[in-house]
Amino acid sequence: MEGKNTINKKSEVKEWVQSISFAIIVAFVIKFFIFDFAYVDGQSMYPTLDGGDRLIVSKFTYFLNEPDYGDIVILHYKQNVEYVKRVIGKSGDTLEIVDNVVYRNGKALTESYINDEPYPDFPLTTVPDNSYFVMGDNRAHSSDSRSPSLGFVNRSAIIGKVVFRMLPLSHAGKL
């Protein structure tokens, strides 16, 4: 009987190791290819997002489609630094900012989501191939594509689309 009990314990340990290994592999696939989490640090997306907000980011969305106008995206800025911004322009678009109005391809954008604090004009420019022009919703306090330090964002730098705010619970919901 003692030998059979040892075999059962070995079998049980093997099952646990297999189950844990499978769970780790599934978690890895989900984190690196389907969903990720992001933390908002700062006020560049105010009033849409606030510092301390916790977000769910869909990485899978951009395997099937390209980022679109108005999408809130997480992008890789530099080592261990990610930004959250809104897509304003895509490859080939012309953009200009005059008197707090963004013009895309000569047409004024209606942007009900921005903070209404005045922000600087920006000269007429064309978005290069395979690139995006992104801006924060708090235009007066955002390092975005207007800034030489970020500039146009290459498609490969866009990690995913923000799809849901988890925290704070009082503002939880789809974005």
> Which CATH number fits the domain that encloses residue 69?
2.10.109.10
- What sections of the chain are H helices per DSSP? 2-29, 61-64
79 domain-assigned? yes
The per-residue pLDDT for 64 is 83
14 domain-assigned? no
The per-residue pLDDT for 17 is 72
pTM of the model: 0.83
The per-residue pLDDT for 44 is 95
Task: Tell me the residue range of the domain where 102 lies.
Answer: 38-168
Evaluated on CA atoms 99, 131, 39, 109, the torsion sign reads positive
21 domain-assigned? no
Q: Could you tell me the mean pLDDT of each successive run of 10 residues in the chain, 175 residues long?
A: 61 75 68 78 94 92 91 90 95 97 97 93 97 97 93 94 90 83
The per-residue pLDDT for 3 is 54
Q: Among candidates 144, 150, 102, 142, which has minimal Cα distance to 122?
A: 102
Q: List the catalytic residues.
A: 44, 85
24 domain-assigned? no
